[in-house]
């Protein structure tokens, strides 16, 4: 000590190292505060320990004081995801050589019951690429009222695909009859041809409603009869699956092309998958690059997506509701609690071992 040799028992040295660490963490916190930063709320060992000794369990997260209900996109990667990302084998995805991306694409294709799937960096780009690949400029696209494509993609449908939208129905839903009534004919001198119908499930602006699957099947059948392509904007298809008790494959089955997001409620930092026929996905690869969304060693991000896409895909307790939303809105309906499990648990089901 003080530059001089000294002797201590092992236990004393160990206790000293642990104890003295708190002293220096406190100093660092003080310095940070003096510099205007906000350091961790607690520097005590008991707060530090769970972050390093997690035994594979989710690490205790440092909570901010805010309750953040702005979006389910604020979810952060779990420790399992971060570990998977760090360990992911990668390659150049533009040569089709990223094994993690390829595995995720194969798994999502199987999960959605489609021939092939394609990774895209965001849900909006997935929708834009789908629009671009499935329509021609000047075409008419039929969507529900207040759909994401019309309200939240910055006019991309017009700018990137050159399409016009016809919003129909009410409360995020429309019937096959309403769809058929709104269809504009092809090869007619007076009409922009309707070439695409898009269904958003669950529907964001309508309050997260689940689309009736029988009606979706009727809409897609009517579209097919008219050579109109059907697209499922399934950014929150996982939530629809949990609420309806159906698998995402069942929900995607009537549609030619479907999307699912990995960053909404599931904790992955980025990624939406498009799935559909192989030739359509090949075309989407071209448009993805045209939009600047083709990447290289993107397996690091796809690895987080793989954590979301493991079985079981059908959440148990199909009739269950997502309790937290009820907690906000239906304070007196506590009897419903027995019938529903928390959104958190349901999301955990989808993680299945992540």
Note the residues at the interface with another protein (CB under 8 A).
Answer: 61, 65-72, 74-76, 171, 202, 204-210, 236, 239-240, 242-243, 265-267, 321-334, 336, 342-344, 347-348
Q: How far is the CB of 136 from another protein (least distance, A)?
A: 32
Q: Toward another protein, which CB reaches closer, 56 or 331?
A: 331
Q: Toward another protein, which CB reaches closer, 73 or 166?
A: 73
Q: Is the distance from CB of 73 to CB of 262 less than 8 angstroms?
A: no
Q: Toward another protein, which CB reaches closer, 54 or 181?
A: 54
Nearest to 71 by CA among 266, 296, 285: 266
Q: How far is the CB of 105 from another protein (least distance, A)?
A: 24
Distances (CA, A) of 326 to 224, 235, 244, 332: 38, 21, 16, 10
Q: Is the distance from CB of 276 to CB of 257 less than 8 angstroms?
A: yes
Q: How far is the CB of 131 from another protein (least distance, A)?
A: 23
Q: Toward another protein, which CB reaches closer, 19 or 330?
A: 330
Which uninterrupted H or E stretch holds 52?
helix 45-52
Q: Is the distance from CB of 84 to CB of 303 less than 8 angstroms?
A: yes
Q: How far is the CB of 118 from another protein (least distance, A)?
A: 25
Q: How far is the CB of 70 from another protein (least distance, A)?
A: 5
Q: Toward another protein, which CB reaches closer, 171 or 312?
A: 171
Nearest to 128 by CA among 218, 198, 222: 198
Helix (H, G, I), strand (E, B) or coil at 87: helix
Helix (H, G, I), strand (E, B) or coil at 201: coil
Ordered strands of the 272-276 beta sheet: 116-120, 272-276, 257-261, 229-234, 194-200, 140-144, 164-168
Q: How far is the CB of 260 from another protein (least distance, A)?
A: 14
Q: How far is the CB of 342 from another protein (least distance, A)?
A: 6
Q: Is the distance from CB of 313 to CB of 111 less than 8 angstroms?
A: yes
Q: What span, in angstroms and rounded, lies between the C-alpha atoms of 154 and 322?
A: 30
Q: Toward another protein, which CB reaches closer, 229 or 244?
A: 244
Helix (H, G, I), strand (E, B) or coil at 120: strand
């Amino acid at each position: 000590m003080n530059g001089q040799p000294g002797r201590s028992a092992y236990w004393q040295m160990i206790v000293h190292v642990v104890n003295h660490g708190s002293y220096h963490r406190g100093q660092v916190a003080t310095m940070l505060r003096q510099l205007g930063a906000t350091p961790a709320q607690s520097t005590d060992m008991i707060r530090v320990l769970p972050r390093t000794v997690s035994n594979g369990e989710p690490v205790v997260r440092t909570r901010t004081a805010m309750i953040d209900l702005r979006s389910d996109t604020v979810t952060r990667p779990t420790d399992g995801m971060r570990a998977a990302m760090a360990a992911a084998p990668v390659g150049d995805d533009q040569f089709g050589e990223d094994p993690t991306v390829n595995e995720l694409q194969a798994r999502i294709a199987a999960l959605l019951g489609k021939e092939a799937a394609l990774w895209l960096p965001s849900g909006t780009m997935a929708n834009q690429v789908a629009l671009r690949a499935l329509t021609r400029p000047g075409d008419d696209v039929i969507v529900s009222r207040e759909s994401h494509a019309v309200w939240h993609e910055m006019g991309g449908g017009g700018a990137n695909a050159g399409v016009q939208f016809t919003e129909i129905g009410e409360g995020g839903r429309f019937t096959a009859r309403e769809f058929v009534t709104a269809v504009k004919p092809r090869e007619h001198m007076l009409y922009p041809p309707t070439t695409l119908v898009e269904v958003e499930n669950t529907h964001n602006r309508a309050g997260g409603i689940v689309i009736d699957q029988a009606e979706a099947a009727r809409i897609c059948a009517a579209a097919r009869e008219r050579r109109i392509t059907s697209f499922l904007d399934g950014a929150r298809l996982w939530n629809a699956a949990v609420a309806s008790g159906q698998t995402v494959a069942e929900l995607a089955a009537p549609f030619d092309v479907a999307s699912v997001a990995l960053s909404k409620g599931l904790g992955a930092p980025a990624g939406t998958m498009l799935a559909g026929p192989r030739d359509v996905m090949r075309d989407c690869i071209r448009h993805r690059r045209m939009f600047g969304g083709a990447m290289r060693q993107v397996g690091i991000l796809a690895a987080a997506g793989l954590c979301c896409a493991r079985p079981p895909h059908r959440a148990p307790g199909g009739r269950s509701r997502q309790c937290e939303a009820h907690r906000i809105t239906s304070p007196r309906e506590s009897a419903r609690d027995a019938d529903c499990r928390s959104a958190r648990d349901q999301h955990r089901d989808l993680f299945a071992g992540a």
